[in-house]
Structure 1
Amino acid sequence: MCERLKSEYQLCEEIGRGRFGVVYRCFSPISGDYFASKSIDKRLLSDPTDLDCIEKEPKILQLLSGSPNILQIHKIYEDDTFLHIVTDLCDGADLFDRLSSSEGTFSEPEAALIFEQLISAIAHCHRMGVAHRDIKPDNVLFDSRNKLKLADFGSAEWFGIGEERKMTGIVGTPYYVAPEILSGRDYNEKVDVWSAGVILYIMLAGVPPFYGDSPTDTFEAVLRGNLRFPPRIFRSVSPEAKDLLKKMICKDVSRRLSSEQVLRHPWVINRGQSPSLAEI
């Protein structure tokens, strides 16, 4: 373990484990606060792609610092064997666990409380010229105050500011990935809006909009992009929520809302309540 890390933080129990390392709860005697310390074993990074992700993520998180809804890096330590990254501590259940343990669905105000924070984080990324490219419930974390923190920027890409620079490469996760990524075409940051729309659909419906018996079947359903609102499931969902979903999970990228437009949608502004639908 890095001596500088141990001199500034007291390491506590293990709270997570991944392919390349371990996450510990740690305590700063100077600030009196708890953090998370992710220790990555560099000897396990034989794949150049993995090495690129590990090196890129801290740089992107530092670029995105300042948003209350994006996981913040506080310190980085490195020695010959390990890379140690000290971040916000998110010890609440992530959104995947909350979806799994909920009573099937969230009420619209409950969903809106989470969704507004998520889309605010995504909009901040896009303002800074960064696309996350792997928005999914597993990467939506919560701290002890129940504040949402968007995490895992290993697939993120910097697309620039004030220019029409497109991205390439197949990244993402079944259920949540945008169709233009799967088609192999160039794409822009609106892939994150599609993925966030899928998350909102699941929060309100309890099921994903596109799925199949295998990842291949799911990808084919995503590529078709035939969005439906089964009456049995959506009978109590407001027209405003369905309007937002249609404008986010929209196969035509030119008609899909930007993250800034989503923030201004009546359903978001009114936090899941149901006033009359306004033009945006």
Structure 2
Amino acid sequence: MGAKPMGDSSNTNDANKSASQFKALRAKYDICEVMGVGSRGMVVRAVRKDNAKKQVAVKILSKSRLRSEEKLALAREVAVFHHVSHPHIVGFEESLEDNQHVYIITELLEGGDIRLRLNDSMTTFPKEQLFMLAEQMISAVLYLHSFGIAHRDIKLENFVFTSQNSCSHTRCHCTLESDHCRKCANGAYPAVKLIDFGMVYWRRPGGEQYSRHFCGTLGYTAPEVCKNAPYLPECADMWSLGVVLYALVARRLPFGHSEEARKWASCKCPASADFSDTEWDELSPKFVSLVKRLLDLNPKNRPSAAQALEVIVECLDDIMIYSETTSQELEADASRESGAFSSKRHSTTSVRSCLGETPSSSLVAALTDELRQLSERENEAGRDVDSQELLSESLEIMNNRRRKRNQTSLDDFFGFLRDVIFRPSEENQV
């Protein structure tokens, strides 16, 4: 159903009365519904007057209710929004203001935050989704840190799904060279985006390295922050990420909420997080070790965002993001391509070979025959191609190059080889 402008019957009379006062906002947008109300404002869903399909989220803040430090935080938030753009950071549209209110307009994220998803679900996230969520969250934090920006309020509630069930796969804009985002096997995992930049620390070149300002949410806040000691904001962010990753697995925070967390933070010898739950035994030791290191009491021992992302990428590389059905389909494709394949004898080897790992003898035989036919077709087209030379080059590619994970059949692989080996030369390109 399309969004409808909010009328007298929508929400409450007070909300309607307030909406009629939002002059700067209503000049460009139609307010559809109130999504949340706080002590200093509200969040509404709206649509642009010049594009009814463009839905946005609008944070409306009353100027009269903002304290001095909150005005500074709002200014920082707007400044950061103007500076950043990342597929896993909520998109910024614009900011408006009039005599009474300030309006922060961002893209609309309709999937709910991770905390709500954990509360609604009776099971933990599948391993591949867990790793993909970790990759998306860490890549967003890495992007911020590369600009000297620390979020300082990383928590489950500040990672919001783009939708309920659609996949929103994009390439991460991180500092590492390869493509670190992965598309899920069945397209059912939504992406997450980081929101709420009201507590950011933005270090300008040559600026102070450490901060003493207490901020964040108890339960997620690093111990050095709780103790009012000078701290590196980036290291505090990594602790908070560790808490989030822990919660994704254990479905609870490692050190509790509110008062429990405050007592833990003020303790001179705080206890370590509990990793005795059976869920941890089913995960990659690399991932478990990463979470433990992120929750190290000594900030110097915590990995950076770049180091954490490398570990998550390794975790993703170590698992096969294919369902049993996909594997069976892959074997069927392989069997159709060559009689040399046996689903009983090569169920694992052939799949791994097709993915660019060490090629099996069966695959070499099938590849030899395919490349012989391929070279004959190329020779008929006027190309001088030697099948044995082509085979050697193909095997080298299989051993040293990795194809996209969504290319799973032998036909996909041969297509990949054609793209690499028979790439048109620059002089033949118009």
2:72 aligned residue: 52
Q: 1:71 to 1:81 in 2, by over 3 A?
A: same
Corresponding pairs, count: 272
- Match of residue 236, structure 1, among 282, 285, 289: 282
The CA RMSD over aligned residues, in Å, is 2.4
- Match of residue 247, structure 2, among 202, 207, 228: 202
Equivalent residues in 2 for 1:104-115, closer than 5 Å: 104-115=123-134
1:91 Cα deviation from its structure 2 partner: 1.6
1:181 aligned residue: 225
1:217 Cα deviation from its structure 2 partner: 2.5
Please give the secondary structure, in 1, of the residue aligned with 2:133: helix
Please give the secondary structure, in 2, of the residue aligned with 1:190: helix
- Match of residue 43, structure 1, among 43, 53, 64: 64
1:246 aligned residue: 292
1:7 Cα deviation from its structure 2 partner: 3.0
User: Bigger CA drift: 49-58 or 70-79?
Assistant: 49-58
CA contact 2:24–2:98 (8 Å) conserved in 1: no
1:70 aligned residue: 89
2:198 is the counterpart of 1:154: yes
Counterpart Cα distance in 2 of 1:43 and 1:59: 21
CA contact 1:23–1:38 (8 Å) conserved in 2: yes
- Supply the AA of the counterpart residue of 2:61: I
Q: Could you report, residue by residue, the CA deviation over 1:249-278 in whole angstroms, capped at 9, with x for unpaired residues?
A: 12222221001111111x334438559xxx
- Supply the AA of the counterpart residue of 1:87: T
Equivalent residues in 2 for 1:6-155, closer than 5 Å: 6-31=26-51, 32-45=53-66, 47-64=67-84, 66-144=85-163, 145=166, 146-155=190-199
- Supply the AA of the counterpart residue of 1:177: T
2:237 aligned residue: 192
1:127 Cα deviation from its structure 2 partner: 0.7
Counterpart Cα distance in 1 of 2:242 and 2:267: 16
Please say which structure displays the higher CA radius of gyration.
2
2:308 is the counterpart of 1:262: yes
Q: 1:223 to 1:70 in 2, by over 3 A?
A: farther
Counterpart Cα distance in 2 of 1:255 and 1:90: 35
CA contact 2:86–2:140 (8 Å) conserved in 1: yes
Counterpart Cα distance in 1 of 2:268 and 2:202: 25
- Supply the AA of the counterpart residue of 2:56: F
Counterpart Cα distance in 2 of 1:272 and 1:191: 28
Q: Could you report, residue by residue, the CA deviation over 1:67-94 in whole angstroms, capped at 9, with x for unpaired residues?
A: 1111222111111100011111012111
CA contact 1:177–1:194 (8 Å) conserved in 2: yes
2:262 aligned residue: 216
Higher relative strand content: 1
Ranges in structure 1 where 5+ consecutive residues have no aligned partner = 276-280
1:226 Cα deviation from its structure 2 partner: 1.7
Query: Normalised by the size of structure 2, how large is the TM-score?
Result: 0.59
- Supply the AA of the counterpart residue of 1:248: L
- Supply the AA of the counterpart residue of 1:256: R
1:30 Cα deviation from its structure 2 partner: 3.6
Higher relative helix content: 2
Counterpart Cα distance in 1 of 2:41 and 2:277: 45
